[in-house]
Amino acid sequence: MIKAGIIGATGYAGNELVRILLHHPEVEIVKMTAHSYVGKTFDEVYENYRDINNMVLDEMNMEKLAEECDVIFMALPHGVTAKVVDKNILSKTKIIDFGADFRIKNADTYETWYGVKHEGRELLKEAVYGLCEVNRDIIKGKNLIANPGCYTTCSILSLRPLVAEGLIDTSTIIVDAKSGVTGAGRGLTLANMFDECNESVKAYKIASHRHTPEIEEQLGYAAEKDIKLTFTPHLIPMNRGILATCYATLTKKVSYEDIKDIYEKYYKNEYFVRLTKKGIFPETRWVKGSNFIDIGFGIDERTNRVIVVGAIDNLVKGASGQAVQNMNILFGLDEKTGLTLTPIFPA
C-alpha cells in the first residue's frame, strides 16, 4: 500500500482528495494536517465523514511526514511548498504540490505574477509539470510534481492539439473562462459570500490573472515558440466547475472533420478526455465529481475562427483527481486507479 500524507486536508481540494483516496485500492492515508484544526478529527470538520474518517489532524512537520509517507500531497496555496520542501525531503518521499510554486520554470516570471519571492529556485529543474496527458513519460520516476491549476488544465488541454499542429494563429487566442466559487478556496472573504455571488456573474483579475503565464508557457512548448494570449476569468454562482470557451483564428481553411481528426490524434487513447459529438458542447454538469475533461468545438466560417469549449470539475481534474492521476503514474499504477468516478447528476 502507498502511504499518503495530506497537508491542508480541510480545504476544498484537500477534502476532495480525501474522498478520492479513501476509495483508492492501493493507498492508505497515514497523516493529515490542517493548521486551523490541529487536534480535531476530520469528521468534526466535515460531518459527511462521520463513521468514515475520524483521523486526528496534526500540525505540519515535513521531516516527520517525509519519514512516514511515500507521497505527500501539498494541498496549500502558492508560496508554502517552496519554503518547506528541499532536496533532503525529496530524497525521502515524493511531493505533489497543488500550489503554483513549481509550475512556472522561470522564477522571475513567477515572482512578477505572484508578487512573492520564490524560495525554491534550486528545485525548479527537478520539478515536472503534472499535466498527465502531456507529460506522463517525464512524470515517471520524479519526486516533485507541480499539479496544474484548474483554469490552466481546462484551457491547455482544450487548445493544445490545435496549437501543436499549427492550425491556429497563436497571437489571436482568447480564453474566456468561468469558475464555480470553490475555485477561490474555503477562506472567508466578502467577495465569496452567498449574497455577493448569487444571482450575479463577474469578470475578475482582467489582464492580470496568475494562471496566464502558466497557460502561455505550456502552450508555448506545444507551439515551440513564445505565446501571448488573453485570458479572462469569471466567477459563476455555482459550487464546482470550470468552463473555458477559447477563440482563435484558423491559419487555413479546414472542415469540422479535419479538426476532429486532430483531436482524435492526440486524445483518442486518453481515458479522461472526452470529445463531444458535433453540435453538442461541454457543460459543467456533465463532468461534476469526475476526473473527465469534455471538449467540443465549432467553426465560425464567417470570421475564420474556431471556438473550442472545455469543461472540468475544478476540484477533481482541476486539482485532486489530477493529483491522484499523477500519483498513479509515479508509482506505476494504471492511471485510472481510484478515479473511475461517474459524473454526478443532478448535484
Q: Which of 317, 216, 319 is nearest to 273 (CA)?
A: 317
Measured CA to CA, the distance from residue 72 to residue 74 in angstroms comes to 6
Positive or negative: CA dihedral 206, 229, 287, 335: negative
- Cα R_g (the chain), whole angstroms: 20
Q: Verify whether residue 69 is a known catalytic residue.
A: no
Which residues are paired to 3 by β-bridges? 28
DSSP single-letter state for residue 147: P
Provide DSSP, 171-227.
Answer: GG-EEEEEE-GGGG-SS--GGGSHHHHTT--EE-STTT-TTHHHHHHHHHHHHTS--
Q: Which of 150, 154, 197, 246 is catalytic?
A: 150
Measured CA to CA, the distance from residue 327 to residue 189 in angstroms comes to 32
Measured CA to CA, the distance from residue 276 to residue 260 in angstroms comes to 10
Q: Residue 182: what residue type?
A: T
Measured between alpha carbons, how far is residue 110 from residues 1, 106, 119, 213 in Å?
A: 36, 6, 11, 8
Catalytic residues: 150
